[in-house]
Amino acid sequence: MIVDLAHKRAQLAPRRPAVRFDGRWHDYGELDLRAGRLAGRLAEAGLAKGDRVAILAHNHIAHIDLLLATAKLGVIYTPFNHRLVEREQAALAAYVRPALLLYDEPNGGKARAVASGHPMPLRSLTAHEEWLDSSPGPPSVTELDPEDTQMILFTGGTTGTPKGAMLPYRQGLCNAANTVFSWGLREDDCVIQATPCFHAALNAFTVPLLFLGARVVLQETFDPGEYLGLVEAQGATVLFMVPTMYQMLIGHSAFSEADLSTVRWAISGGAPCPEPVRAAFDERGIRFRQGYGLTEAGVNCFAIDLDDAAENPLSVGHPIFDSEAVIRDSEGEPVPPGEVGELTLRGGHLFSGYFEKPAATAEVLRNGWLWTGDLARQDDAGRFYLVGRRKEMFISGGENVFPAEIENVLYSHPAVSECTVLAVSDDRWGEVGLAAIVLRQQHRLSTEEAEAFLRSRLAGYKVPKHIHFLEALPKSGAGKILKQEIARWFLEGGQSAAS
Ligand code: AMP
């Protein structure tokens, strides 16, 4: 099974444009050369098979260089979420113990702070080109197995402690083949990678299109106006974003007039897509479909024909090419057609486990099936629909938020006696957090103070938009906090009744 993608692509189509960054195209031959040079540099620095190379950077060609260099040395691409604050980055570093951390200038402060607590070599991307140019060249060939880990992508889990999903080379090829076969991707396709590279969304299009020999434009950070300009200038043929980004795009003044004539279709992923997004694309004559995936299934899991998507906009369709999906009850038995249960998946596109977390792995990978934590149902024609999440994680503006993590931070405040965090829907972000807090007697804490406390310890998108102080939290007989009741209270106008 092919492991060194860059080498194969350089053999098959060396002069085809591959990745656009910093105003110019890099072809497949060049990508292979760059990957070899980077691997040479890493080998020179003493790195070897199994070492994690972390990267804390906005979308930058170094992400692609590192992703492709993995196969030449056996190191593992381990992107850090640059939106996290230092404390959160430090937890990632303590967990995966990177042998090197690459960073771009905007993240220099965070990188240095993390390395002061968890000593590791740092390398700025400022002189990345010069560093590659003066590399000793590719290291001697490392024997790799398709089951060796190529990437570790972080996902939070309900406990809030980060879990690193290990994605082996086998997984990358399988996901790419599934995506190309099922979504009808072509060699002349061009996508704009606007979602951050540290996210599993990198595997939605960028990696499959690199396997295919097509074109990827890296947008450093998402900006809807610039995105539309890139679609026009580079002739993007397929669009992919999370719903919140699509909402920003359709709300941009240039959307209705932009030249989208090269676009074949658009797809959303990561969260349910609001109807106005589809309607806006319909108006522009562009067909739209909804994708579903998760990091652990690396990442695309379903496919829907464009005509079918137009008639069944809420469906994600059928399992992707080499994948099986079964909806089960809590005993593991398939539920009768039409009933809701937990979605389980099986196929070559699944991850191999969480890095150094066998118990967490065993919880979700059972007899070859991935228990997704998502609730789904099928219609009479067998189409799948996502209906909610068994796990409490929610997605705000395309980013995963784990209530337990926020609760843990709140509990570290001396005035907090009890608290809970849950998701409520939001027009702009899809979902946002609601924190319900009970204060200790004789303690005071204002909404502003609670917010400032959270902001100094968590990435902005994790800070609950709604913070309320209650006398007590509703509990079940077994003493568990009843989040649903708080959500109901909030929807019924509790937000105006409480502070
Ligand atoms: P991630 O691992 O970051 O890709 O997040 C995966 C989670 O996003 C899934 O487990 C789902 O809960 C959610 N998700 C992805 N796509 C959809 C969709 N089309 N509809 C509803 N939820 C989705």
Of 9, 146, 154, the C-alpha closest to 68 is: 9
Q: How far is the CA of 293 from the centre of ligand 1 (A)?
A: 5
Taking the CA of residue 165 as reference, the ligand 1 atom at the shortest distance is 2
Of the pLDDT bands very low, low, confident and very high (cuts 50, 70, 90), residue 275 is confident
CB 76 within 8 A of CB 52: yes
Mean pLDDT rounded to a whole number for the chain? 93
Q: What percent of the chain clears pLDDT 70, i.e. is strictly above it?
A: 97
How much is the pLDDT for 157? 43
How much is the pLDDT for 158? 37
- Confirm whether pTM is higher than 0.75: yes
How much is the pLDDT for 375? 86
Taking the CA of residue 155 as reference, the ligand 1 atom at the shortest distance is 2
- Residues 368-385: pLDDT tens digits? 999 999 889 999 999 999
How much is the pLDDT for 231? 98
Q: How far is the CA of 424 from the centre of ligand 1 (A)?
A: 16
Judged against a pLDDT cut of 80, whether residue 389 lies above it is answered with no
267 Cβ closer than 6 Å to some ligand 1 atom: no
316 Cβ closer than 6 Å to some ligand 1 atom: yes
Judged against a pLDDT cut of 70, whether residue 422 lies above it is answered with yes
439 Cβ closer than 6 Å to some ligand 1 atom: no
CB 193 within 8 A of CB 234: no
Which amino acid is residue 236, in one-letter code? A
Q: How far is the CA of 370 from the centre of ligand 1 (A)?
A: 14
Q: Which residue has the higher pLDDT, 31 or 158?
A: 31
327 Cβ closer than 6 Å to some ligand 1 atom: no
Residue 27, CA distances (Å) to 20, 68, 256 in order? 9, 13, 33
**Strand order across the 287-290 sheet:** 238-241, 265-268, 287-290
Taking the CA of residue 299 as reference, the ligand 1 atom at the shortest distance is 4
Of the pLDDT bands very low, low, confident and very high (cuts 50, 70, 90), residue 476 is low
400 Cβ closer than 6 Å to some ligand 1 atom: yes
Judged against a pLDDT cut of 60, whether residue 32 lies above it is answered with yes
386 Cβ closer than 6 Å to some ligand 1 atom: yes
Q: How far is the CA of 272 from the centre of ligand 1 (A)?
A: 8
Burial call 98-116: b when 16+ CB within 10 Å, e when fewer: bbbbbbbeebeebbeebbe
Q: Is 426 helix (H, G, I), strand (E, B) or coil?
A: strand
- Residues 39-80: pLDDT tens digits? 999 999 999 999 999 999 999 999 999 999 999 999 999 999
**Per this entry, what is the length of the chain?**
499
Q: Is 286 exposed, middle or buried, given 0-12, 13-18 or 19+ CB atoms closer than 10 A?
A: middle
How much is the pLDDT for 271? 76
Judged against a pLDDT cut of 80, whether residue 404 lies above it is answered with no
Q: Is 452 helix (H, G, I), strand (E, B) or coil?
A: helix
Q: How far is the CA of 463 from the centre of ligand 1 (A)?
A: 20
How much is the pLDDT for 480? 63
How much is the pLDDT for 92? 94
Q: What percent of the chain clears pLDDT 90, i.e. is strictly above it?
A: 80
374 Cβ closer than 6 Å to some ligand 1 atom: yes
Judged against a pLDDT cut of 50, whether residue 361 lies above it is answered with yes
Of the pLDDT bands very low, low, confident and very high (cuts 50, 70, 90), residue 273 is confident
135 Cβ closer than 6 Å to some ligand 1 atom: no
Judged against a pLDDT cut of 60, whether residue 314 lies above it is answered with yes
- Residues 120-147: pLDDT tens digits? 999 999 999 999 999 999 999 889 999 9
Judged against a pLDDT cut of 50, whether residue 497 lies above it is answered with no
Cα angle: 94, vertex 126, 93; to 5 degrees: 5
Q: Which residue has the higher pLDDT, 495 or 248?
A: 248
Q: How far is the CA of 479 from the centre of ligand 1 (A)?
A: 30
How much is the pLDDT for 171? 97
Taking the CA of residue 201 as reference, the ligand 1 atom at the shortest distance is 4
Distance CA(409)–CA(432), nearest Å, equals: 17
Distance CA(341)–CA(328), nearest Å, equals: 5
Distance CA(256)–CA(126), nearest Å, equals: 38
Distance CA(316)–CA(175), nearest Å, equals: 17
CA atoms within 13 A on the CB side of 336: 0
Judged against a pLDDT cut of 60, whether residue 155 lies above it is answered with yes
How much is the pLDDT for 491? 87
Q: How far is the CA of 295 from the centre of ligand 1 (A)?
A: 9
Of 263, 264, 266, the C-alpha closest to 279 is: 266
Distance CA(193)–CA(201), nearest Å, equals: 9
- Residues 80-124: pLDDT tens digits? 999 888 988 999 999 999 999 999 999 999 999 999 999 999 999
Q: How far is the CA of 104 from the centre of ligand 1 (A)?
A: 29
Q: How far is the CA of 294 from the centre of ligand 1 (A)?
A: 6
Residue 359, CA distances (Å) to 116, 163, 300, 404 in order? 31, 11, 25, 19
- Residues 216-240: pLDDT tens digits? 999 999 999 999 999 999 999 999 9
Judged against a pLDDT cut of 60, whether residue 159 lies above it is answered with no
Q: How far is the CA of 213 from the centre of ligand 1 (A)?
A: 27
Of the pLDDT bands very low, low, confident and very high (cuts 50, 70, 90), residue 477 is low
Site of tokens 């300009």? 229
How much is the pLDDT for 95? 96
Task: Using most ligand atoms within 8 A of CB, pick from 198, 240, 268, 395 the residue to mutate for ligand 1.
Answer: 395
How much is the pLDDT for 424? 94
